[in-house]
Every structure is written in C-alpha cells, then in structure tokens.
Structure 1
Amino acid sequence: MQALRKYGDPEYWNKRYSTASGTFDWYFEYHPFIAQILDGFNSKEISILDVGCGNSKFSEILVSKGYKKITCIDYSKAFFEHLFQEFHERLPSVHYMYMDARMLSFPEASFDVVFDKGLLDSALTGELSYVNAKQIIKSCLRVLKPFGKYIIISHSDMETRKEHFLDPSFDCELRCESIVVTDNDCHEGEERLPDLTFYAYIFSKHLH
C-alpha cells in the first residue's frame, strides 16, 4: 500500500507531467462497454466531463467519434504548464480546465456524462482518502443531469469499493459491470499478455 500512496499525492502528478509528452492511458484507452453507454444517449450533442483527464487519449477518441461537447479537468498545474498547449492545438474543440474534482465549479446538472478512469482509485491511496473520495463522488453527482450517467472505472471490485459507493445520500441507482481488456495489439510471434479485468461503476441519476 505504501508504494501506491504516491498516486494520491498531487506532487507525484506534477512531477510526472512536467516531463511527459504525448498521450498515456491508465487501464485502457477506450472500450466497447463505454461506447455502448454513450451510444445509449442517441446523440453526439451530449455534454461529457472527463475528471482527472491528465494526458489521456480519451478526449481525442471522443472527438473522432463525433462528440462535440467535451470538457476535461485536471488538478495538476504541471499538466497545464507543459502539456495543455499540445492538447489544445490538437483538440481545439475540447475545453481543458484546471479544477479540483472535489469542488467542481460548474452549475448543478451541467453534464449528461461524467467519466472517471482511475481518479477515484488514485484519491483512495492518498491522505484523507475516504473524505476525498466522498467529496469527489458528491461533486460529480451534483453536476450530473437527470437521467445522466456517472461512470467510474476502477481496478477494484464491489466488495472493495462498496463502502464508498453504497451511500444512501447519493440518491442514485448504481450498477457494477466487469470490463475485460484483451491484448489486441500483439503481433504474430509476440507473446500475448493476459487479459485484465477492471470494473465500471455506473451511477444513474433520476428526475425527482
């Protein structure tokens, strides 16, 4: 656990992004399961928020699929000092903003989809992890529109995460799905990596 604590430390991310270039994705770049959820809205005009975006390729993939209202936030100053210009030039339609996911400054009910791939996992390795995790979830649910989807991708199963997610105050429907990521990029003669399993937690917000 000690080795993982660096992921909950903002300084780790500032150091990482101060020398990074190009894109890098934790867990996976994209997955048919994510596409299925987005396709369920039957519109390319839905508003999507990616929290803890870093230098992920996710926004680029969304743009390539025709989505037009994409906002990405991150709390690393180094990302905006060293990588923002590169991403902004390549993806001028995407709004990149410096913001803390625990205290999102958007108005209530601003987004159809809120997407978190690894942010909550990182928060749960740092100091005040339980407090920070609850603040992130409540903040993301606040900016989610009625009938919207808040998607959290995690390396941990429900047994491990239930104390964070099964909170009556969230007042949302929650389901968990396993996502199997296969090594589809191996070439003939190369050793195939084992499949990996991640977990998608989908909060569905209903109109009251």
Structure 2
Amino acid sequence: MLLFTRLAVPLRTLQKLTKAHRWHHTSLTNELIENMDKKATWDRFYTENGSKGQFKNFEWFFGFHSVKDFILPVLQTMSHSHSGPLNILDMGCGTSALGPCIYRTSPCAVKVICADISSVAVKLMQKHSNSTLVQPCNPSSALAFLEMDCTHLRGYFVARSLDLILDKGTTDALVRSKEGQVKAGQIVKQCLQVLKPSGTLLQFSDEDPDARLVWLEREVRGTELAADVGVQEVGELRGVSYFCYQISPRTSERVSK
C-alpha cells in the first residue's frame, strides 16, 4: 500500500472549481451546481454532451495518466496475494476513460465495473466500448458497465467482494449539492462494507485535507467496521491542487500495530 501523509492548505472556492472544470455558462451549469445528487441532472448533462457528434470521454478533474502511478502500484501489490482477477469499481464513472484505461493497461488481471447513476452515460460508454474493441494488457481482464445508484452499493455487491473502489469527483459532486452530503456519507459507509479486508477506497478530490480528512474520519467512526484514512497530494493542474484520499478497512494486523 502507499504511505500517505497529512497536508493542510486553504479550502478552495466553488468558483475556482468551476473554472478548473471549464464548465460552460449555461442553464445546465447552474443546475449541476445545485443538483449534483440528482439522476435527471446527469442524464440531461450527458445527453447534451453526447449529442455533439463523435464520442469523447469527459474527464472531471483529470484523466487516467494523472493518477496511474497511484492506482497501478496498488493493484500490483494486491495481486501478489490474490488469485484470480481483482474486482474494481469505478463509482460514478460518467463517460470517463479511467476504468477502461485500467482494464487496458493493468499487467495484473482485473475485472473493472464502470458504474453511474445516469443511464445515458452508461449507454454511451457501452456503445463506445463495443465499437473500439480494445484489448487488455492481461487476457484474463474484463470490463463491464452498470447503471447504479452508488448510495445503494449493498444492493449490487455482497459484503467483502471488492478489492478497489475508485471515486474521481463523485463525492465532490455530492457534498457540493443541496442534499448530497448525507448521501456522500452513506457511500463511504457502504464502500467499507463491500470492500475486502485488504481492499481500498481511493477518492480523488480538490478538497483540502484540513476539511476532507475531518469529514472522512467522522464518517468512518459511524461505521461498524474500523477504517484507516490517509491522503497524498496528486499535484497541481490548471492552478488547482488535487489529492488522493485512501480509506481502508482496518484489519486485525493494522489494529495490533
């Protein structure tokens, strides 16, 4: 596992976030900011983006290459004590290439599920995947797409079944919406339930550790399973600093230490 350290810098403003995402000033932009926890908002967003012609992956924050050095080493470490493909969930995938890139580049066998609440986004991703027919680095790897409300993970996955859950901007979208913070907390709790004892949830975010760590530690204290929380800086992009938050079930070995 990666060794994570705590950092502290001032909290970023929503205006800077909006600029970093290069959102267009449309009615949809205002709707997104206020209703990021609503399925209808995202269906409309991906319908509008999908109507512009040729398919193009839409990346929140950054693409796979900005975080591959965080993800691939974790998978490599997990694979040493694992038989069969690693089960990976890209939660709130939208039309990001993150999941497909892991499927394509991971030397170890992986089963990647790209899941989103928007049926429009899932259909766009499935159609694009079928048309490109990308071959994985490992012939035992698999890629699937799933329409899913990530606040109900236990309705889709059994306890202790996932090795890695990726959250690139999903929690950020929820906590900045009117009613989304409670849902974001529910997701963290359910992630800990469906992760294997050796598993990890990675949240990629632009929220500063002095705010996100306090929130995460409060949420995991409200779970039946103990968890460790850490953070590492990803880097700066277009004037915004990004971070990788790691939430891992606390095994008996970790507790004894």
* TM-score for the superposition, normalised by structure 1: 0.83
Residues 137-180 of structure 1, C-alpha deviation per residue, up to 9 Å, x if partnerless? 11111110001111011110122223430121242011011111
Q: Helix, strand or coil for the counterpart of 2:198?
A: strand
| Residues 207/61 of structure 1: CA separation in 2 closer, same or farther (3 Å cut) | same
The residue identity in structure 2 corresponding to 1:40 is T
Shift of 1:195: 5.3
More helix per residue: 1 or 2? 2
Q: 2:250 & 2:216 partners in 1: Cα distance?
A: 17
Q: Does the 8 Å CA contact 2:57/2:95 hold for their aligned counterparts?
A: yes
Q: Secondary structure at the match of 2:36?
A: helix
Q: Is the 8 A contact 1:60 1:91 kept in 2?
A: no
The letter of the residue matching 1:5 is: E
Contact 2:63 2:97 in 1 (8 A): yes
The residue aligned with 2:138 is none
Using the TM superposition, name which of 111-120 and 9-18 deviates more. 9-18
Q: Select between 120-129 and 74-83 the one with higher mean Cα deviation.
A: 74-83
* Fraction of identical pairs, as percent: 24
Return the letter of the residue paired with 1:205.
P
Letter of the 2:143 partner, please give it.
Answer: V
* Alignment check: 8 A CA contact 2:213 2:230 kept: no
**3-state SS of 1:53 partner:** coil
Q: Among 151, 173, 177, which residue is 1:122 paired with?
A: 173
Code of the aligned partner of 1:70: V
Question: Quick one: which of 45, 66, 79 aligns to 2:85?
Answer: 45
2:189: which partner in 1? 138
The question of whether the paired residues in 1 share the 8 Å contact of 2:161 and 2:196 is answered with yes
Which residue of 2 is the match for residue 201 of structure 1?
245
Give the conservation status (yes or no) of the 8 Å contact 1:101–1:140: no
**1:101: which partner in 2?**
150
Q: Report whether the alignment pairs 1:22 with 2:56.
A: yes
Task: Determine the structure 1 residue equivalent to 2:116.
Answer: 74
TM-score (norm 2): 0.69
Q: Which runs of 4+ in 1 moved over 4 A?
A: none
* 1:114 match: secondary structure: strand
Spell out, residue by residue over 1:42-95, the C-alpha distance to the aligned partner (whole angstroms, 9 max, x if none): 458211111001111112211222343111111012223444322344468311
The aligned amino acid for 1:206 is: R
C-alpha distance in structure 2 between counterparts of 1:69 and 1:76, whole Å: 21
Partner of 2:231: 176
CA distance in 1, matches of 2:161, 2:42: 27
1:10 equivalent to 2:39? Answer yes
Amino acid of the residue matched to residue 44 of structure 2? K
> Counterparts of 1:148 and 1:48 in 2: how far apart (Å)?
10
Match of 2:73 in 1: 36
Gap change, CA 1:162 and 1:207, over 3 Å in 2 = closer
Q: Answer yes or no: is the 8 Å Cα contact 1:175–1:201 preserved in 2.
A: yes
| Distance change (3 Å), C-alpha of 1:87 and 1:147 | same
Instruction: Show structure 2 runs of 5+ residues with no match.
Output: 1-13, 15-28, 135-141, 253-257
Match of 1:113 in 2: 164
Work out the number of aligned pairs and report it: 197
Cα distance change of structure 1 residues 80 and 57 upon mapping to structure 2, 3 Å threshold: closer
| 2:129 counterpart of 1:87 | yes
**Runs of 5+ in structure 1 lacking a partner?**
183-193
Give the letter for the 1:65 counterpart: T
